[in-house]
Structure 1
Amino acid sequence: MGSSEAALLVLLLCSLLASILPPSAPLGFHCSNSSAAATCLSLAGYVSPNATTLAAVQTLFGVKHLHSILGANNLPLSTLSNSTVSPQQTIAVPFNCSCSNSTGFSYRRPVYTVQSGDGLDHIAREVFSNLVIYQDIQQANGIVNASLIEVGQKLWVPLPCSCDEVDGEETVHYAHVVAAGSSVSAIAMEFNVSESTLMAINGIADAKSLKAGQVLDVPLKACTSAIRNDSLDSYLRVANGRYVFTANNCVMCTCDAANNWTLDCQPSQLKPTNWSLCPSMQCEGSNLFVGNSTSTSCNRTTCAYAGYTNQTILTALVTNTTCAVSNNFATKDIFRASSWNFFLILILSLLSFHQVK
């Protein structure tokens, strides 16, 4: 056997081993919060390869309620499930993220049923628009040979995500597929993120190394809330310009940067799930209900949503000062400066009078 034939044989063997052995690289984005309770809401930017509908996207990603997709894209609640999604249109898909072994990925969803003619690479690239690579699906499902999958087989597609805070702020992590011709600066501007932060959390040393089809972890700033750590939705995070439903659909929470980055929660108009009726949402010790406020000369008190338990909506009275706080030291400094100026003007006036005289 000649050297060229031997080299070709080695190459073929390497390719065969690559398809048989699952990759050892961890799935998903970096997620340092790996405690048992490290779960959160995340988003993935699905770029539809063909014309489809919101209902089809909902089914593909296993999203339980259509209103979850509507809220993630800030679409009106009246939007119909058969509304058209155009080719190459991006739809933000919400899902539950789970952190384990310093990485984050979607918790056992979505699940895809293998169709005739499918391959793992086709499923990753075409069906799920490059949000994963075929090795991710292979590893997540313990597939020994990536070339051997069967029609009807159920495959867990592990979408990348994270639950980490970024720069000390609550964050919703968004999986963004880099489009051809895009750049770090353009993506940073689109999502209102600093270039340095975007590069740091994605381990990008050189902005010029960005490639089309690459999946970036884009941190979207979330609104702060009064939700308690012992609430069943303590994981709830909402990014600017989006809304979610929680507490068995009894509460609708909206994030708006114009509202001082504070989560605004109100009773929803949806039919509750798991409860026959929505529990009381009145703040204890007041006449206020969730979302209601009262103001005095300098204070604004709001009945804020603080989470829920099996049978109760949790609330909290939150008071914010609306008047400017006076600074006594600054006032004294201004008075001292004014007094000194007056004294100086008085001396100059007396000197001028003396010279004239």
Structure 2
Amino acid sequence: MTSSLHPLLLQLLLLLPLSPPPSASAARFACGGGTCQSLLGYAPPNATTLAEVKSLFQLRSLRGSLLAPNSLPLSTPSSLPLPLPAASLLRLRLPCSCSRGVGASFRRPLYMVKAGDTLDAIARGTFAGFVTSGEIAAANNLSDPNRVAVGQQLYVPLPCSCDAVGGEEVVHYAHAVAAGSSVARIAAEFGTTEETLMRLNGIKDPNGLQAGQILDVPLRACSSSISSTSIDRNLRVPNGSYILTANNCVLCSCSSSSWQLDCHPTQGISSSTCPAAMCGNMYLGNTSSSSPCERATCAYTGYTNKTSSFAILTNLTIQSLCNTSGAPPLSQPTSGAALRLGLQGVKLTELLIFFHIALLCLAFLSRC
């Protein structure tokens, strides 16, 4: 009996390595409610173009959904070949809607089934594992997920969220883990903490990440002066990107140097299409200094689009550049200037020592 079991066990052990390893499942991002704009980091598996990516993900705007989140010039043609020489990842801006505690891309992308397609191939191959075949089947009420018809249109629910994190408004970024990456490395790359990433994604072991695993990464957004009554009151822009708002008449960018939204009229749009955006005689985005301690900026505060009128709202904001004593901040000397000051101090000390020696010598000679 014992001898007959050994060959069977050996065969089973030999077969185990041939079984495919379990793939990292796509994440369902927690989302309490509401709608927003979220980001997804897509790495095209094959050579493609911006236009083809726009078509695949059913993006409404090339400029707003592709050029802006990747800080590409507005003049970039849709025929631009991908992947880009400087980066393999392309950030896509997607509309997000929350329902029953989970966020998903709002009503798109819509994918048309081709000959030879399966739900698993669509999920893993076409949409890079950001969704599972089961999630596609559930979103489209498919009774048999193994049977899809050529020409059938499927809604692909991509993960997203609109929730604040730690009391701060953020932009949620769906990130696919690269091979060899870690929680610490991802946190450092995107300016968040390991604790935040682990809590958001339910990670128990920070060393247990799998290549291809989808993580919810919160990106800090720039603060702004946008009014709570403005149509774009929920505008959130992360560092290193820009966004078009107010019917594309205003371009707002975010920089980590100030973490304050910087908005200007969009270049290249006809003045007849966009109303004037001014604070008195100062144009939107311009600054002026009435004194060394104050700087005035014509800041963007939103827009209204009523039946009879479309208006861009602005407000003159005053920034204090001085300390509490009323004196402007002192400029710090450069290393060269500090070195020169140090040398001057040394020369002055030497001169004082020489002067004292000379006085002692004169006193000594007068006694002789």
TM-score (norm 2): 0.76
Residues 1:141 and 1:27: Cα distance change in structure 2 (over 3 Å): farther
Q: How does 1:136-147 map to 2 (within 5 A)?
A: 136-147=135-146
- Is 2:26 the partner of 1:31? no
Is the contact made by 2:39 and 2:92 (CA closer than 8 Å) also made in structure 1? yes
Q: CA–CA distance in 2 between the matches of 1:27 and 1:98?
A: 16
Question: Shift of residue 91 of structure 1?
Answer: 0.7
| 1:338 counterpart residue number | none
Residue in structure 2 matching 1:308, options 298, 303, 310: 303
| 2:42 counterpart residue number | 46
Listed one character per residue, the Cα deviations across residues 141-184 of structure 1 (whole Å, up to 9, x for unaligned) are 11121112111111111111111122222211100011222211
Is the contact made by 1:27 and 1:105 (CA closer than 8 Å) also made in structure 2? no
Give 1 or 2 for the bigger CA radius of gyration: 2
Q: CA–CA distance in 2 between the matches of 1:131 and 1:234?
A: 29
- Is 2:154 the partner of 1:155? yes
Residue in structure 1 matching 2:72, options 67, 71, 75: 75
Q: CA–CA distance in 2 between the matches of 1:163 and 1:104?
A: 7
Question: Shift of residue 78 of structure 1?
Answer: 2.9
Q: How does 1:121-132 map to 2 (within 5 A)?
A: 121-132=120-131
Listed one character per residue, the Cα deviations across residues 268-300 of structure 1 (whole Å, up to 9, x for unaligned) are 02447xx961012123xx322211222232222
Is the contact made by 1:250 and 1:270 (CA closer than 8 Å) also made in structure 2? no
Residues 1:276 and 1:103: Cα distance change in structure 2 (over 3 Å): farther
Q: How does 1:280-295 map to 2 (within 5 A)?
A: 280-283=276-279, 286-295=280-289
Q: CA–CA distance in 1 between the matches of 2:105 and 2:304?
A: 24
Q: How does 1:1-357 map to 2 (within 5 A)?
A: 28-32=28-32, 34=33, 38-68=34-64, 69-86=66-83, 89-258=88-257, 260-271=258-269, 277-283=273-279, 286-297=280-291, 298-310=293-305, 311-326=310-325
Look up the equivalent residue of 1:143 and give its one-letter code. L
- Residue identity over aligned pairs, in percent, reads 51
RMSD (Å), alpha carbons: 2.1
Is the contact made by 1:130 and 1:213 (CA closer than 8 Å) also made in structure 2? yes
Listed one character per residue, the Cα deviations across residues 79-103 of structure 1 (whole Å, up to 9, x for unaligned) are 2211111399211010111122222
TM-score (norm 1): 0.78
Is the contact made by 2:285 and 2:298 (CA closer than 8 Å) also made in structure 1? yes
Q: CA–CA distance in 2 between the matches of 1:131 and 1:50?
A: 17
Aligned length: 294
Question: Shift of residue 243 of structure 1?
Answer: 0.6
Q: CA–CA distance in 2 between the matches of 1:140 and 1:27?
A: 15
Listed one character per residue, the Cα deviations across residues 318-338 of structure 1 (whole Å, up to 9, x for unaligned) are 2221111239xxxxxxxxxxx
Is the contact made by 2:27 and 2:214 (CA closer than 8 Å) also made in structure 1? no
| 1:7 counterpart residue number | none
Look up the equivalent residue of 1:296 and give its one-letter code. S
Q: CA–CA distance in 2 between the matches of 1:172 and 1:204?
A: 20
Q: CA–CA distance in 2 between the matches of 1:263 and 1:133?
A: 36
Unaligned ranges ≥5, structure 1? 1-25, 328-357
Is the contact made by 2:231 and 2:303 (CA closer than 8 Å) also made in structure 1? yes
4+ residue runs over 3 A deviation = none
Is the contact made by 2:226 and 2:233 (CA closer than 8 Å) also made in structure 1? yes
Q: CA–CA distance in 2 between the matches of 1:99 and 1:276?
A: 37
Listed one character per residue, the Cα deviations across residues 179-228 of structure 1 (whole Å, up to 9, x for unaligned) are 22221112112212211111111111111221122110001100001112
User: Secondary structure of 2:244's match?
Assistant: strand
Is the contact made by 2:303 and 2:313 (CA closer than 8 Å) also made in structure 1? yes
Question: Shift of residue 39 of structure 1?
Answer: 1.4
Is the contact made by 2:254 and 2:262 (CA closer than 8 Å) also made in structure 1? yes
Look up the equivalent residue of 2:31 and give its one-letter code. C
Q: CA–CA distance in 2 between the matches of 1:229 and 1:156?
A: 33
Q: CA–CA distance in 2 between the matches of 1:178 and 1:148?
A: 30
